[in-house]
A and B are shown apart, each in its own frame.
Chain A
Amino acid sequence: MLQLKSIGKSFGATVVLKDISLNVGRGEFISLLGPSGCGKTTLLRIVAGLESLSMGRVFIGGRDVTDRDASQRDIAMVFQSYALYPHKSVGENIAFPIRMHAPWQAAIPLFGSLTPAGKALKKEIEIRVPKVAHALGLGELVHRRPAQLSGGQKQRVALARALVRDPLLFLMDEPLSNLDAALRAEMRSEIMELHRKTGCTFIYVTHDQTEAMTMSQRIVLLDKGSIRQAGTPLELYDNPNNLFTASFIGSPKLNVLPYQHSPGVVRLNGCLMRSLEAHETAAHLKEKAASVGLRAEAMKLCAPAHADAIHCRVRLIEQMGNETVVFVETDAMPGSRLAVRVARSEGNVLSEGEVLALRPEWSRALFFDVGGDRVRLRNVRRQAFLEAA
């Protein structure tokens, strides 16, 4: 449905996007995720035709639309600021895209509504606007002005305006970032529901990894203007290609520990690792690894005398209800904290300031080289097993 071929964009000497290529299938829900300033919004605006590009081509629905104006691309977009037309009623806001795509005869001032096209347009508006307004729970609000609506209602109007036609692409630029947390969760499921019902192709820009993880079928992770990794949410979580992806995806944030390996000696966070598993894993590394990423659930509490024990001190305990996240500090990295997810029963007996021992679960460890690229294990069968886990 959407094809990007080596898109590049620069403002003067500043490169904003470099060599972005991407294929989005029909009906797919894809997220463009990344920290602020990574170029995700610029990329969306290039797709929309609101921003010119320095190189590359954009195809929508199989047609090259690179040189086509935004109004000719047959797309819909929801803006972060909603961008409702303040002087038009909710109903007129929703009807606007239909009006703009009607034949020109219908737009003749005063007499347009008397032409056959004008009559057809009126009928179409009378059918489609109440339908989409109703679907989004805006039934009673169609006569109000945007200024009289709450943030959540404005958001719904913006969605309704985008949904009222059948566009080829449905673009959303951080649509939920102006809403409060409860409303955001509600709209999240509502948008997913809309995607399921309409079967439209959605492209969703966000800096919130939770939104991207929960809503999309595929995530495109951007950093500094290029794609770091693209894949399903779980692929990115379980099998990141690089340290950036691994740390950006997941909450609490990935724990990154320094790692040294020479024959017979494995050091993690400065501590000597003595277990067989630690040495076996180290021996299977394809290249030299400089750091190990361990998710909060890949670290376990253990006895102080354990072969792989890392000693640390509890700094903060976050009770989630079903589980507990413990933030600890080690002597090797004072000031930085590691997050460990423990069962509630385990967490209950802990207190701040307490000294603990942790061990890594080697089967879930992610290895990275000095440059931050993933270092994989040599044994294919074992690797497959690890990635399936």
Chain B
Amino acid sequence: MQKTCTLSVLKVYLLNAFLAGGAIVMLAPFVWMLSLSLKPENEIYTPFIKLLPEVWDFENYREAVNYGETGKFVFNGIVVTGSILLLQYLTIIPGAYVLARKRFRLEKLCFALVLAALMIPQHIAAIPLFMLMGRLSLLNTYTALILPFMTSAFGLFLLRQSFKALPQDLIDAARIDGASEAYALFAILVPQIFPALAAFSVFSIVSHWNDFFWPLLVVSDMELATPPLGVSIFASDEGGNDVGPMMASATLIVLPLMLVFLAARKRFVQGMTMTGLK
């Protein structure tokens, strides 16, 4: 009895040590970013690794906000990711509902197309999309940043699975009680799939907030730059890297994401386990 106890305790310790190791590896760049952002310039390039700065210096942040205009990039990021998310909700919720519940001709083909779209990397479609934006004279606009992402195959797939798991009686009951189908969908069904929706939202926000590739293609005007594009100012300006302000800027940009994830963490994990997606 005693032995099995110590063994299982040992197992827990080992497991935790393993997970802690993984966490450290994942967190190291962030910690380093935070550390560098707080150091004055003369401390950044030293032969020793020091986590804590000798002199705490918030000058980098001041520079990031004033010179780098991080506030503007964050604003652009919020406008772009927010609009993308809203448009995605408006397209994938009805779309996924129809795919889950309605029987129509070419239904199978439609779903197959969604699955196929899931497998195409964004970069393959980038050049035709760029040319399309060019033809429509939309380059260097918010529209160019938002329009290509107004729907999401992944979202359609995820929500379809969630809608499929809901009982048909629920929507029938709402319709009998006098609700239109659209009202029943948004007022009765959507609250039931909240975990999946939260999981999808985190995915969408993170991927579009962090997207560097597409904004780099369609936006050259720094007034419209999204956060990652904004950070790159410090990487190229004045011939050299301005590491301190760049790290400060990066820290500020990651912050909203962390807050979003922490807020939705519980729902996010629920949503992932619910759909059997890992």
Contact = CB atoms under 8 A, between A and B. Distances in A.
A83 B167 contact: yes
A77 B178 contact: no
B180 interface: yes
A85 B169 contact: no
B175 A70 contact: yes
A100 B172 contact: no
Interface string B154-180: 000000000000010110111111111
A164 to B, nearest CB: 9
A106 B177 CA distance: 16
A75 B170 CA distance: 16
Contacts of A97: 177-178
Contacts of B174: 85, 96
A297 to B, nearest CB: 41
A50 B167 contact: no
B197 to A, nearest CB: 13
B178 A83 contact: no
A149 B180 CA distance: 28
Per DSSP, chain B at the interface is helix
A49 B181 CA distance: 13
A71 B179 contact: yes
B172 A83 contact: yes
A86 B178 contact: no
A159 to B, nearest CB: 13
Q: In which size bucket is the chain B interface?
A: 10 to 19
Given A79-B169, A81-B167, A81-B169, A70 B192 contact: no
B192 A76 contact: no
Contacts of A71: 175-180
B114 interface: no
Interface in A274-289: none
Interface string A170-185: 0100000000000000
A161 interface: yes
B4 to A, nearest CB: 38
Contacts of A73: 176
A126 interface: no
Contacts of A161: 177
4 closest A-B pairs by beta carbon, nearest first, are A100-B178, A83-B169, A83-B173, A97-B177
10 contacts: A50-B172, A70-B172, A71-B179, A76-B176, A79-B172, A81-B169, A84-B173, A85-B170, A87-B192, A100-B179
Given A69-B175, A85-B188, A100-B178, 7 more contacts: A49-B175, A79-B169, A83-B172, A83-B173, A84-B173, A86-B192, A161-B177
